[in-house]
Amino acid sequence: MTLALPLAVLLAIIVYLLVRSGELRTWQVVLVGLLGFYLARTHLADPIGAAVTWLITGLTHT
């Protein structure tokens, strides 16, 4: 998937900034978990990646 690497890099930057700020809210913890799934490429990564791709495609209408 060509979207996985740029999305993982974007999530890594966001997570770095959030952790650096010192406090994490619930939605921020979800982003950290999403980054973990992309980096680990577990058996759940493909369905999560498909859901994120579906969501981005739906939001951008491409």
DSSP string, 18-47: HHHHS---HHHHHHHHHHHHHHHT-TTHHH
The per-residue pLDDT string of the chain (62 residues; one tens digit each, 9 = 90 and over) reads 566 677 777 878 888 888 888 877 888 788 888 878 777 766 667 887 888 889 888 888 86
Domain ranges, residue 12: 4-60
Number of folded domains that form the chain:
1
Residues 38, 45: contact at Cβ < 8 Å? yes
Distance separating alpha carbons of residues 27 and 42, to the nearest angstrom: 21
